[in-house]
Structure 1
Amino acid sequence: MPLVTAPAHPQNPLARTIRAVHTDLFTGYTPFEKVFFATLIGLQILVSTTVFEGWLSAVTAVAGMICVILVGKGRISNYFFGVIQNVPYLILAFQAYFIGEITIAAFYVITQFWGLYIWRKNMRVEKSRAQRVATSTLEDEPRDVITRRLSLPQIGLALLILGLLTWGYGYLLTQWGSNQPYVDGFTTIIAVMAQILMVFRFREQWVGWLVLNAVQIYLWSTVDGGGNLAIMAMYAGFIANSLYGWYNWSKLSRPLPSS
């Protein structure tokens, strides 16, 4: 009588979903990435608890750090943490009366679902077919997003759009009484553009995030009471992750070997 072997992977939909989530969140990291990412998250927790600015700031900072780490790694689970980050951030921006930040936080929440839809259709395993056959099944391997690069004419057009929209939106914010109209306007426009580039998987988003995060540290330092240190620390961590994101997305935009 032939032996009946159990399937290699659970067939229950819930079990498969749990396995996929675990794979996406916790596997496929290099030793450097494990130390680097753990340090970034740990620093956010340390600052958020030491200089406690309230639960909204703490949740925004920690969830935001996890979100951008997963973006840099090219993992689709970043969109779950993006929602957790941006809902409380929307409330914080309203409390600080940063009108541009209110706009962008609402935009971020909406684009989490848009990005999830786009990325799901453009994921790959960071191994060739031959490597996967030799080591494990597709289900066991983390799936990273397929990234792209802007051409030089596209970069020039993006910079022109950034300048024109920043001037126009900054002028509009002065009429609405924003605390920092042109800084607020610049961060809003560059954030929208970087987010769109992220959704459509372009590497150059990371340049936008680098500039944006530096300006955001200044912006949140102007909040009454000496600034919101938890949010400022979050953006400092974002800067470090943006450098890594550029490096990793440059690798992800290269074609995989066919064998």
Structure 2
Amino acid sequence: MVIDWLVQHWMELAGTFFALVYLYLSVKENIWLWVTGFLTSLLYLIVFFQERLYADMGLQVYYLLISIYGWFAWKWGRDKSGKRKMPIRKTSLRLAVKLVGVSIIIYAVVVWALLKLPEIINIPASDLPYWDAFTTTGGIVATWMLAGKFIEHWLIWIIVDLVSSGMYLYKGLEITVILYLVYTVVAALGFWEWLKNMKYRDKSL
């Protein structure tokens, strides 16, 4: 029975493993987070398709692309000695307002797509379109902010991860529920770690 369960859920387990490595590397500001993030997204793209979480599936495509962008953004943000030139930074009020506006637009588009596209392309409808769209929108914005090293991305992830945990519990993805609860805790720890590093950097300037 255990072996059958492992065989059935191997992709979810592998995705969970790479996701945990990704989390650790994110907190440590290690550029290899983008490689593990790419692998995580590739695996979960398939898992979410099988579970009819289409917005989350589409989000994994975005994560694949942003992982490539993030790798080069962080790589170019270093000098020849390998020292980081892209510092952790706070989101300005002006940028925050823009991000809220963009988030509203993304949410509306994703909700429309989840409600209408299944009929058009003849696939099963999304089970949780509004919550699915919420976590998708938050994930898009938070990952873009991570690529730019904006510290507030951790706070967005705390909210997104908690909502996602409820969604996956409803879908019976127990491993993924545990993963996202761990995500929530690590996001809180990541915020404090980045805040500490940012304060240390400011004192040393």
- The alignment's TM-score, normalised by the length of structure 2, stands at 0.84
> Highest Rg: 1 or 2?
1
Q: Residues of 2 paired with 1:111 and 1:165: CA distance?
A: 16
What is the CA-CA distance between 1:123 and the residue it aligns to?
4.2
Q: Residues of 1 paired with 2:78 and 2:111: CA distance?
A: 37
Higher relative contact order (CA 8 A, sep 6+): 1
**What's the counterpart of residue 120 of structure 1?**
75
Equivalence map 1:1-259=2 (5 Å):
52=6, 54-123=9-78, 146-176=87-117, 177-223=125-171, 227-254=172-199, 255=201, 257=204
Structure 1 gap ranges (5+): 1-48, 125-137
What is the CA-CA distance between 1:179 and the residue it aligns to?
1.5
- The alignment's TM-score, normalised by the length of structure 1, stands at 0.67
Identify the structure with the greater helix proportion.
Answer: 2
Q: Which amino acid aligns with 2:60?
A: A
Q: Residue 75 of structure 1 contacts residue 144 of structure 1 at CA under 8 Å; is this kept in 2? A: no
Q: Which amino acid aligns with 2:116?
A: Q
What is the CA-CA distance between 1:151 and the residue it aligns to?
1.3
What is the CA-CA distance between 1:165 and the residue it aligns to?
2.5
What is the CA-CA distance between 1:180 and the residue it aligns to?
1.1
Q: Which amino acid aligns with 1:158?
A: L
What is the CA-CA distance between 1:145 and the residue it aligns to?
6.0
What is the CA-CA distance between 1:206 and the residue it aligns to?
0.7
Q: Residues of 2 paired with 1:168 and 1:115: CA distance?
A: 24
Q: Residue 217 of structure 1 contacts residue 236 of structure 1 at CA under 8 Å; is this kept in 2? A: yes
Q: Which amino acid aligns with 2:49?
A: F
Q: Residues of 2 paired with 1:58 and 1:144: CA distance?
A: 35
Q: Residue 151 of structure 2 contacts residue 195 of structure 2 at CA under 8 Å; is this kept in 1? A: yes
What is the CA-CA distance between 1:238 and the residue it aligns to?
0.5
Query: What's the Cα RMSD here?
Result: 2.4
Q: Residues of 1 paired with 2:17 and 2:84: CA distance?
A: 24
Structure 2 gap ranges (5+): 118-124
Identity %: 19
What is the CA-CA distance between 1:217 and the residue it aligns to?
0.6
Q: Is the partner of 2:164 in helix, strand or coil?
A: helix
